[in-house]
Amino acid sequence: MFDRLLSQAERNLRQNWQEVGCTIPTSGLYPFQWMWDSGFCAMGLAHFDIEKAMQEIDTLFKGQWANGFLPHIIFHDDTQTSYYPGADVHNAMLHPASPKHVKTTGMTQPPVVGFILWQLYEIVEDKAQLLPFLKRNFPKVMALHRYLYTHRDPKGEGLVYIQHNWESGADNSPIWDAVWHTFEAPNYTLPRRDIQHVNAAQRPTHREYEYYIYLIELFKEWRYDDAEIAAKSPFLVQDPMFNTILAYSNLCMIELAKIIGEEEAIPQLQAWYDATKQAMNSKLFDEELGGYVHYDLRNECPIRMLTSSSMVALFAGIPSAERAQRMVEVLQSPVFRGKHNEYRLVASFNTQDSRFDAARYWRGPVWLVVNWMIMQGLLRYNADELAAQIREDSLQLITENSFAEYFDPFKGERGHTKGYGGKNFSWTSAIVIDLIKRHAQLVSKSD
Ligand code: 2M8
């Protein structure tokens, strides 16, 4: 039924594949290897080229630091000039643990790799073929999780913090406005490249970029030293999506440990999972809003807004059945779907809030990758009807708009919506492949 979509999605991944052994998100706008994109690309690739899927992850770990940290961009080909800020602006080599053979950033992204290894194992038919790959990458994921729990959780709460909005994956969410109000960034002249590729109305503002760059300037001043950042940086935030993904990766690593004979790692992984789950429930769940909120650790206050990151906790089995039921209601309410003519998908920000913007990046548009995680979470809580609606509308969006980076949550006058940002986008393609190949049995009853 979706043959054409499937072959287009595979073609996009092939076209964005680089000789060095990884997939770029899209040419021009994002010409390097991005960490969490790369994980989802490996999942998409696993459906038709498992060798490439394994290579994607092996190449990603070439950027891992000696202390376990996994950076958000690996600049394999740093002659590319179509992206700002490039390797030299980040200058992560200032940190003694950074790799000497390849340039990277000094910030990370949601730690998807643990659960992606598990996805690969589930997808591939010849499981034995995957074992050496899993064995060599298991300790690298352990090192990443150990780094996060050791260096990003100063009070030992089980919740790790992010040190930059780019670490959240949801770059210009209105969440960060609340943090920008707590300190001043200088004014800079910035050689933005993104707005040469994409309409500026679909991207963060100049003022927001000044904050993004200012934080990098501070990190460089502190040579990316974790203790200095924890002690002095104005931006330390506990992000519900980042912590959910870490928690779910711990769970998946437990399953992998059993398969590859690494059982001695299980108590640690279980302890990490339990601590994160417990802390998310006791500290981040907002009873009034019906979702998990961000917490500003520097200023010791919750940031009480609903974003798609608030709802991903379902994915890792974090909420109780009762809380999950509440979240399902919120997901179906105008908060995430608008009042009329909407897709049955989760917008990235509360559509009822004055800061909502249907076209501007992470301030409202629909992102398939986040919807995919929420869909998996809904299945975990037996909310199959809503999961099926998300699958169907995700595929419908792509049929109407092709493989855009993000999408308008509302249908236009003729019943169609708009795709924004980069084109022939890799993780959009990877999600489409997975939705078609693995979830065909999910059909909604409401049609
Ligand atoms: C976007 O982020 C980058 C910075 O990392 C950017 O705008 O320059 C985000 O959507 C992020 O989640 C994503 O990983 C990246 C590449 O697709 O683009």
Model pLDDT for residues 200-240, shown as the tens digit of each residue:
999 999 999 999 999 999 999 999 999 999 999 999 999 99
Catalytic residue list contains 171: yes
Dist. CA 171 → ligand 1 center (Å): 7
Maximum CA extent, the chain: 58
Contact 312, 374 (CB under 8 A): yes
37 lines ligand 1 (CB under 6 A): yes
User: Sorting pLDDT into bands at 50, 70 and 90, what band is 256?
Assistant: very high
Percent of the chain's residues with pLDDT above 70: 98
34 lines ligand 1 (CB under 6 A): yes
Cα radius of gyration rounded to whole Å, the chain: 20
User: Sorting pLDDT into bands at 50, 70 and 90, what band is 447?
Assistant: low
The chain-wide mean pLDDT, for the chain, equals: 96
User: Sorting pLDDT into bands at 50, 70 and 90, what band is 341?
Assistant: low
Q: What is the mean pLDDT of residues 171-191?
A: 97
208 lines ligand 1 (CB under 6 A): no
Helix (H) or strand (E) holding 308: none
Q: Positive or negative, the Cα torsion across 392, 424, 434, 359?
A: negative
Within 13 A of 366's CA, how many CA atoms are on the CB side? 32
166 lines ligand 1 (CB under 6 A): yes
Contact 308, 356 (CB under 8 A): no
Catalytic residue list contains 393: no
Q: What is the mean pLDDT of residues 163-173?
A: 98
pLDDT in tens, 267-314: 999 999 999 999 999 999 999 999 999 999 999 999 999 999 999 999
Cα distances from 231 to residues 214, 219, 299, in angstroms, run: 17, 12, 12
Q: Is the pLDDT of residue 411 over 90?
A: no
Of 16, 22, 23, 30, the residue with max ligand 1 atoms within 8 A of its CB, to mutate for a pocket test, comes to 30
Instruction: Give me the catalytic one of 37, 262, 405, 434.
Output: 405
End-to-end CA distance of the chain: 17
Q: Is the overall model pTM greater than 0.95, yes or no?
A: yes
Q: Is the pLDDT of residue 23 over 70?
A: yes
36 lines ligand 1 (CB under 6 A): yes
For 101, residues 6+ apart whose C-beta sits below 8 A from its C-beta are 62
Q: Is the pLDDT of residue 6 over 90?
A: yes
Dist. CA 25 → ligand 1 center (Å): 9
3-state SS, residue 150: helix
